[in-house]
Amino acid sequence: MKVSRDEKEPCAARYSYPKVQITVLLFLGARNHPPGALRIGSTHSNSILLYIIESPSRLVVWICFENCLPHCVSRSIFLQENSLVLPLYLNSTSRCNMGQMLGCVQVDQSTVAVKENFGKFDDVLHPGCHCVPWCLGSYIVGVLSLRVQQLEVRCETKSRDNVFVNVVASVQYRTIHDNARDAFYKLTNPPEQIQSYVFDVVRATVPKMDLDAVFEQKNEIAKSVAEELEKAMSNYGFEIVQTLIVDIIPDETVRRAMNEINAAARLRVAAQEKAEAEKILQVKRAEAEAEAKFLSGQGIARQRQAIVDGLRESVLNFSHNVPGTSARDVMDMILITQYFDTMRDIGASAKSSTVFIPHGPGAVRDVAEQIRNGLLQGEAAVPSLL
């Protein structure tokens, strides 16, 4: 035996017996259960007892009423597709009470109950306590919730640029209070009907758009779905409160490609900005180097001018203070002084390269003679060039 929750009757359990003949027997005042029967349910006061006898080809259900009338329960027990559907409140301690046996029914808040009389629609019962005399053929056939319900629909379709996407729509709907009769009798399964309309609208709208447009215009898609649902479901007693496109999921390969395109575009912009920064850096470095060389040249020129002015001043002062000395003698002395200064600098620096200079008692005079001859040769060569 397979026991499952009945989808069409939320307050019922379905006992399925494929390819088995089912027989339901009602007994009043039964004290002892049938031989070999299995007890499957009872009420608080054991006033209703359920027994079953299973065989390979037949199922016998014994429903025994001790202290209540059979009509209280028998209307909720029915056979459908080789299944026995029993109300779950047979195992409850709160449903089968004296009020129900006397025909009093309670309807909860935000719900309405549909009452029939001998199989014909009679009335819609609002929240509160109502008298439903079962002895006169009246009974409750179902209850509808007036609360907002949400249905999530996932629809696969294709965009205009041949990209398959899954569009996830969330539809919030509720039963119209004044149209509860239509909502109960006109549709067998409202969620499936709503899902069909969502499929129809989405698969008619998305193929007209490119993938990027689908993301940009999802509000327009939701509006189209809401308009179509409102127009269709209002005839069946349902109100469409809100329709949302909560997610658009392209194929995984397309998503990776889109991410790579975006990443490549950003890398290209980053490379351009980096090259521009390096260009500016090179230009600024060249400008700084040119400015440094210009200032260095000015410094060298001023340094040489200062040296020449100092030499001139030294020669004039020495000639004035030491009578009988010529400018040549002064220049020889200056050359000797600079020679010794150069020797001192070469020996003082640890990083200086080794320089071999002939040195002896006449070395200074030889160096001075070489410098003087070089200057004289230069002066002699200038007129010939002119």
Q: Cβ(107)–Cβ(143) under 8 Å?
A: yes
Among the ranges given (7-11, 259-263, 361-365), the one the predictor scored with the smallest mean pLDDT: 7-11
Return d(Cα 216, Cα 72) in angstroms, integer. 58
At 130 the three-state DSSP class reads strand
User: What is the distance between the alpha carbons of residues 107 and 1, in angstroms, rounded to a whole number?
Assistant: 34
Tell me the average pLDDT across 308-335: 71
* pLDDT at residue 28, rounded to an integer: 40
Distances (CA, A) of 306 to 55, 312, 319, 365: 129, 10, 20, 26
Q: 52-66, 151-165, 200-214, 356-370 — which is least confidently predicted?
A: 52-66
- What pLDDT is stored for residue 317 in this prediction? 74
Q: Where are the alpha helices (DSSP H) in 56-113?
A: 71-74, 98-101
- The mean-pLDDT minimum among 17-21, 122-126, 217-221 falls in 17-21
Closest by Cα among 150, 169, 187 to 224: 169
Half-sphere exposure of residue 161: CA atoms within 13 angstroms, side-chain side? 9
CA 284 – CA 286 distance, rounded (Å): 5
Indicate the fold that domain 150-250 takes in CATH: Tetrahydropterin Synthase; Chain A (3.30.479)
Mean pLDDT of 266-293: 89
Q: Which of 84-88, 91-95, 146-150 has the lowest mean pLDDT?
A: 91-95
Beta bridge partners of 57: none
Contact 197, 155 (CB under 8 A): no
Assign 267 a pLDDT band (cuts: 50, 70, 90).
Answer: confident
Q: Is the pLDDT of residue 170 over 90?
A: yes
Domain boundaries, the chain: 1-96, 103-147, 150-250, 268-321, 326-378
Confidence of residue 257 (pLDDT cuts 50, 70, 90): confident
Question: Of 3-12, 166-175, 251-260, 319-328, which one has max mean pLDDT?
Answer: 166-175
pLDDT of the residue at 101: 60
pTM above 0.85, yes or no: no
DSSP H or E segment with residue 231: helix 218-233
Q: Is the pLDDT of residue 380 over 60?
A: yes
Highest mean pLDDT among 20-34, 86-100, 265-279, 294-308: 265-279
Which pLDDT tens digit goes with each residue over 62-81?
555 444 434 334 334 444 44
